[in-house]
Amino acid sequence: MRQVSSNIVKLRKEVPNTSILSSNNVPSKKLWDFGVNRALQMINKNSSPLTKVVLARSSIIRTSQDIDHLTWLAML
């Protein structure tokens, strides 16, 4: 079993001067919305075995220069 580190690191809240060149989400927003609505319909049925559903999306972002991933996530 792996242990998660208990170290706390304060991340910089600075954004490098960069531009987003492209972004790709899988599934697309339209397909993700469809999945959410379908899951809600299934949950609302009395006979549904579903009580909760987690739907995620993967995003690939290309920027004009390298950025630190953790700093970027801290800005969200």
pLDDT tens for each residue of 36-72: 998 888 888 878 887 888 888 898 888 888 888 787 7
Residue 6 located in a structural domain: no
- The pTM score is 0.54
Residue 33 located in a structural domain: yes
Residue 74 class from Cβ within 10 Å (0-12 exposed, 13-18 middle, 19+ buried)?
A: middle
Write out the residue range of the structural domain in which residue 69 sits: 21-74
Residue 61 located in a structural domain: yes
Residue 9 located in a structural domain: no
Residue 5 located in a structural domain: no
14: its two tokens? 């600075």
Q: Please give the tally of structural domains in the chain.
A: 1
pLDDT class for 11, splitting at 50, 70, 90? low
- At 25 the three-state DSSP class reads strand
**DSSP summary character for residue 37:** H
Residue 50 located in a structural domain: yes
Residue 16 located in a structural domain: no
- At 38 the three-state DSSP class reads helix
Q: Is the pLDDT of residue 30 over 90?
A: yes
Picking from 57, 60, 58, 51, the residue whose alpha carbon sits closest to that of residue 32 is 57
